[in-house]
Structure 1
Amino acid sequence: MTDKLLPLDTNPQGIVPSTSAPVTIEAWTPPMQDADAVVRCDQSPAVEYLTGLSPGSTETMGKSLDRLCVIIASEGVIANEAEAKKVLGEKPGLRFQWWRLRRPQTRWIHAQITSKERGLAPNTAKLWLSALRGVLKECSLMKGYTQDGRERPLMSADDFHTATAWRAVVGERESPGLFLDEKMRAKLFVACDQRRSPLRERDAAILAIGLGCGLRRAEIAGLQMSNLTNNKLTFVGKRNKQRTVPLLAWALIRVQTWLRVRGDAPGSMFFNVKAIPGKLLMTPRPLSADSVSTVVYELGEAAGVDLSAHDLRRTFITGCFMQNMDPHHIQLLAGHDDIKTTMRYDMRPRAAMEKSLADAIDKLE
């Protein structure tokens, strides 16, 4: 490898640091090439891996693979990552020869992303390692070709299992999310009521479904009129899982108010609203997940609350815990596969601590 970083598609070693590199990364020297070594693959393992994911996960995991490529190309030196990113170009993870990785290389990657110097949150490190495991699993299922044209597996089952036998990532961070108390929620609805129609009714309904049903932003954007029956929302959410969430009375009122403005025509429940001189006009184009995030952000800004769309979901789940609901029932309402995920949304300890601290400060004053 030359001193200058090479783009992935022109680097014959697949971004492997040179043997003149520090001893800590000498393990990057690729395995000895023999007659059975794969030298070519007509498909990208990363593409095969990412196409099997949901649209939201495809973007997240694709970016994770790209970041791993940058770390590899910079030979683990954080200061060189900006240069490596420029040289690699867009989406390097799609062109990287992931099947060349073996246990020494994956241990090196693990050490890099879990190091204190890099400062990644444990969940971020877990996410990147999950992306790495996923693309290596795809390598173990795909075929490549040797120098003389024979067909061989990209990675043997043994190589896959040893390469992904890394230590579990330990540690945790406080959730960066926000629990919206009663006063904050009231401020958001006041901000809604100050908007012009039909934004006023539409955005209040979005808030009501987020706070009263705990739907993800993509699930809110994807709601159809047919999903609302008998005062309940029945829809297919993340991981192609169908679930039913009842609308509480206060949330149902907000939704019904919006539907009177929207009309009862079939199709998407939430439309885009276009500003034209003198008025706002509904368009038949449905909202996107990003548009839902924008709505929530703008309402938060107007109410003086710095929040994201996911904070609505977090508030709903925490509110369920505050009502002493069975955690397994909350898991079903939230659509989580693992109850541990649901428990991470429980912000009661922080909310109680913040309230106690506020009460103590009030008494001191």
Structure 2
Amino acid sequence: MNELITIEAQSPRPADQNPAAVYLAGLSEGTSRRTMLGALEQVARYVSQGRFGAMDFPWQGLRYQHVQAIRSHLANTMKHTTANKVLAALRGVLRAAWRLGLMDAEDYQRAADVPCVRGESLPAGRAVSHAELRALMEACKADQSPKGTRDAAIIALMYGCGLRRAEVIGLDLADYDQGEGTLRVQGKGRKQRLCHVTNGAARALTAWLRTRGKAAGPLFLPVTKAGDLQWRRMTTQAVYYILARRAKEAGVEHLSPHDLRRSFVSDLLDMGADIVTVQRLAGHAQVTTTARYDRRGEAAKRQAAAMLRVPF
């Protein structure tokens, strides 16, 4: 890579003229912004041999041959999914450089015109069975403190509405219309959607609201060891810890919060809901993303494999 590009030190650009800053500012706060900043840091450190970070790297100096060399490095050192995420961040910052007038259109088009890294891997995460979901809820019910009621409602919404961690903690009491049974959710890319809270999820949420009260503010609150509610918003990491704790108490194999969302998609498809409806309920921009959440394919393959009998 050193033979392909020479990096010259430049005066720092103000944020509104910095391609990396402008690109990152257009992403949703939280996971997306952190992920893409990390991706840009990897590229900047690799190309400059550690002399530059994402925010002071001269992105406008990259050309097609440089991006092709970066792609080759990524393909050789990362899974294809991770490599393509880094390439997406790279294309985004190059687009910002062009829009800021730091690159001409031809240089930008050529640099951004590198193919994705091809490959195929097993789907991430796993499906959560109904028995495991029941065990998680029982573990919450066994906790007589406000934490138990709160955690049951969080788990119920993450499975029953397919919510992401960031969506759960971003909810306010005003987002829930108990009469209509709907929840207004702020999703990725500042896209709102209505989720329908029904049956057990509605009962779990009602139980939490009896504990929480009707004061305005975040729907879910931190709870102290003494059982006191703290009137501030929870963190995404807190949701991760909640699920890990309840899984351990329930004797359930390790699962991530996103596994509940995957199971929401898989179970709806398994029960006959059409994929476009499920896509809208999950808040996915593309049907192809929804399809990647489907775990029915593995279940079908397992059932087919079980038809064979090995004489041992």
Q: Match for residue 34 of structure 2?
A: 59
SS class of match (2:121): coil
Q: Match for residue 139 of structure 2?
A: 191
Hey, what's the Cα distance between the residues in 1 that align with 2:66 and 2:289? 30
Q: Which of 49, 70, 75 is residue 109 of structure 1 equivalent to?
A: 70
1:249 is aligned to 2:223: no
Q: Match for residue 282 of structure 1?
A: 229
Alignment map for 1:328-343 (pairs within 5 Å):
328-343=276-291
Letter in 2 for 1:328: V
The Cα RMSD (Å) is 2.4
Q: Which of 157, 167, 170 is residue 222 of structure 1 equivalent to?
A: 170
Q: Match for residue 150 of structure 1?
A: none
Structure 2: runs of 5+ lacking an equivalent: none
CA displacement, residues 318-364 of structure 1 (integer Å, 9 cap, x when unaligned) = 11101111111001101111111111000112234456768989x99
Give the superposition deviation at 1:232: 1.5
Hey, what's the Cα distance between the residues in 2 that align with 1:351 and 1:295? 28
- Does the CA contact (< 8 Å) of 1:179 and 1:351 recur in 2? no
Give the superposition deviation at 1:72: 1.9
Hey, what's the Cα distance between the residues in 2 that align with 1:228 and 1:69? 44
- Does the CA contact (< 8 Å) of 2:170 and 2:186 recur in 1? no
- Does the CA contact (< 8 Å) of 2:162 and 2:264 recur in 1? yes
SS class of match (1:280): coil
Change in Cα spacing, 1:202 to 1:357, as seen in structure 2 (3 Å) is farther
- Does the CA contact (< 8 Å) of 1:209 and 1:251 recur in 2? yes
Hey, what's the Cα distance between the residues in 2 that align with 1:199 and 1:322? 32
Give the superposition deviation at 1:168: 2.6
Alignment map for 1:144-163 (pairs within 5 Å):
153-163=101-111
| Structure (1/2) with the larger strand percentage | 1
**TM-score, with length taken from structure 2:** 0.90
Change in Cα spacing, 1:320 to 1:167, as seen in structure 2 (3 Å) is same
Same amino acid, percent of matched pairs: 32
Alignment map for 1:202-217 (pairs within 5 Å):
202-217=150-165
1:122 is aligned to 2:80: yes
Q: Match for residue 221 of structure 2?
A: 271
SS class of match (2:195): strand
Give the superposition deviation at 1:300: 1.9
Hey, what's the Cα distance between the residues in 1 that align with 2:42 and 2:153? 38
Give the superposition deviation at 1:123: 1.5
CA displacement, residues 86-110 of structure 1 (integer Å, 9 cap, x when unaligned) = x76xxx1111111111111111001
Letter in 1 for 2:116: A
Aligned length: 305
- Does the CA contact (< 8 Å) of 1:121 and 1:172 recur in 2? no
Change in Cα spacing, 1:347 to 1:111, as seen in structure 2 (3 Å) is same
The structure with the larger Rg is 1
Alignment map for 1:1-365 (pairs within 5 Å):
17=2, 26-29=3-6, 42-43=13-14, 44-55=18-29, 56-74=31-49, 84=50, 92-115=53-76, 118=77, 120-142=78-100, 153-229=101-177, 230-275=180-225, 279-303=226-250, 304-354=252-302
